[in-house]
Each structure stands twice: as structure tokens, then as C-alpha cells.
A and B are shown apart, each in its own frame.
Chain A
Amino acid sequence: MSIFQIRPNYSSLARCAPITEKPGTDRAMRVAIQRARRGKKAAPFGQQQAFDSAIAKLVRAIPVDAQVGDWFANESPIPSVKRRWKKILLNPAVLAIALAVAVIGGVFVYHVREHLRDFPGADKARRLLSVATSTRSVLLDPLQTDAGALSDLFFMKHRLEHYDIPAEFADFRTLGSRVFDDDEVHGVAQIWVVEKRMQFFLFPAGKNPKDGSVTDFSDWRFVELEGWTGAVQQRNGVCFMAAIRGREKDLAPYLEKRKQ
């Protein structure tokens, strides 16, 4: 019954080509008509069209009873096809396009959301979060003391100035620490603490590429990567990041403690 066969018989379709151009003509029929018009049988096809048009004209001239004419006077015998939204939405092509747009939109929103709260040094912070995910405790020098006491160690041993631990995290007991140079970030101090196996990072703040200035911020800003979250604060040109495996809410209690 369907005209959508795997290989449409175009010559057969052309023999019942519509007499007048209709907007809803199937693609197979349009192809059949184009082939018939341009092929070897263009002349017979032209005769067929002229023949059909003449008969259709005569059919329209067949007198219609007045009563029947009245029935159809105010409406088309074939109502125009109303494309229902449900049908349109269930069309595979529309579904595929909608899905693609949704995915693109989702990725776009994700990126916008991720970078909405970006700050100078956010890229460095994310890179160090990736370091946090792969760090093993054996990589660090064992050191058991209060985190706040390490500022002097960093200055005395490594000449790292202003590598201070914020008061919120200064009392946390440490398990180990190290200072290393990353491919992109130099002079990174990493501290491993007992509390929830958090890691602290201290690293030079990013400079404004235009004027080379560094803009500190005292509020906490967050970065996320692969299930880790970092709370970052910048003072005296040095960024401090507390990294935890979890979400922003897992860090919130420690940050609110200072406010109280």
C-alpha cells in the first residue's frame, strides 16, 4: 500500500502524477516527475499531463447539484493537512535535531556555569585539583604539625613569601607537605591534612595579562573538577586552595566557621 518502497518504480509513479502541483506531494513522486520531464519520455509525459489537465478541466465543468454544492461551498472537501505538534515532535529528524540542540545547549550551559565564577588563577586552581586527584601520601614529606605553622617553613626553606594558611584552616593537623614545580605552575606548596583527607595548595596568583597586576580577593571562590572541589582565596599575590573530594557544601562548614 505504501508508495515508499525501497526502490520506487518512478515510471509507474509518473503515470499517476498529480494533475496540478500540490504542496504535500511525496518526495518519490517529485523525483518521478522530474525524471519523466527530463528523460527520454519527456514528450509522452507532456502529452499525458496535457491530457489529464484537459479532463480535469472537463470534470470541474460537470454540473453539480445545487444542494450538494451548498454543502461544500463553505469548506474544502479535503481539509488542509494540519500538522499536529505531537506528530512533528515524534518525527525522527526533528527528534535528532532536538537532541543535538539539547546536547549542545547542555554543554554550553555547563561551560558558562563553570566559568561564570571564574577568577584570575582559576585555570591554575583546576590544574592543581587534578594534581590532588592523583596525589598519593607517599609523595609528600611526612610532617605532623598545625597547618598554620608551615608558612615559616615555606619561607625559610623555599623562599616562598606570603605562603600563609588562612585562619579557617590554620589549626588543621598536617600529614605531610611538599613544594614542587608543575609544568604550568611554579612554586606550588602542597599540604595534606588529617581532616577529611583535605589537601591545601599555595601557589602564585595569576597576573593580569594587560598590565601585569595582581588583584587579590578575600572571599572564597570555587572550582570543581572530577568530583573534587576547591575553595580559593587570594592574598598578597598568593592563592590558597583547600581541596576536598566532594562538593561545595562539603567545604562550606569550614568556611562559615571563620565568619562565626
Chain B
Amino acid sequence: MTGDASKAQAALQDTVREAALRSARDEPPSDRLWFFRDARWRCLAVSEQDLQAEPGILEEEAEISPGAPMQIEKLDPNQLAVWISAAPEPQRSALSLFYLDEFSLREMLVLLEMTAGELSELISSGRRQFQAWLDAATPYEGE
């Protein structure tokens, strides 16, 4: 989400420290999603100080192609991380949480504080934008 592993790690450390302080005060985080919600806001706060994604950078869209999985296989994982971190909020958070494949829809809606329709729209537009980027970065040669 930050596009910088060290910044993300620092944000996560702050979250863990905050949880420890709360526990010491006998006020432990009441919600199991608290860690992720807190870490997300810290990451967003950190990323606000960085260069922001240029408007329109991900506006280009393409329908998902049957060869997309093969195109994705050719990618370096860090390329994907950079692409997601370049997406504007709240799409960046939505894509991060969705592709982590750790959260249920209900949990994602709680973390992102949005409706299922909004999340669905963000993810499906993210897919099309990523497909457009894929087509440019690693053209599919199967057809």
C-alpha cells in the first residue's frame, strides 16, 4: 500500500506498539480487525506524504483476456506491488485487501468502510486497468 516495504514495516510496528500500549492500560483492541484497520490508516497517512499517483494514470481499461493468467505469470511480484501502490485510494486498499485473499467480503467492507457495490466497482475497474497495463507490459502472444 505504501510502495515501500520499510515504510509499511514501520507503520505495522507502530500498530503493534499501539496495541501493546492499549493492552498495558487494560484496554486491549476490542475488534480482531483493529490491527488491520489501524495499520491501513497509518499506511495511508505515510503515503500522503509521498508523491501521489498522477490523475488518469490508471484510466485506461481493457476487458480481461483469457490469456491474462499467462501474462501475469511473466510478471515480477514487485511489479504488481508497485502497480497496486500507485493506484489511488480507496482502490489501492480495496485491491490490496482483496488480493491478499485473507479477508471475507464482510471483513473487507468493515475495514474499508464502504458498501459491497462500491467495493465491487473498485475491484472490477482495477481488474480492467491492470489488464490494460498487462497488455502494454507483457503483450499476450497466444492468439
Contacts and interface: CB of A to CB of B under 8 A. Distances in A.
Count class of interface residues, chain A: 35 or more
B108 to A, nearest CB: 8
Given A12-B116, A18-B105, A78-B107, A63 B77 contact: yes
Contacts of A34: none
A47 B104 contact: no
Interface residues of B, number: 45
Given A16-B105, A26-B104, A44 B99 contact: no
A183 interface: no
A56 B101 contact: yes
Chain B interface main SS type: helix
B25 interface: no
A16 B64 contact: no
Interface string A41-78: 00010011011111111110111010110010000011
B116 A58 contact: no
A20 to B, nearest CB: 6
B69 A53 contact: yes
Nearest to A17: B105
A29 B107 CA distance: 13
Contacts of A207: none
A19 B105 CA distance: 11
Contact of A58 (B75, B102, B103): B75
A3 B106 contact: yes
Interface of A: 1-3, 9, 12-13, 15-16, 18-20, 22, 24-26, 29, 44, 47-48, 50-59, 61-63, 65, 67-68, 71, 77-79
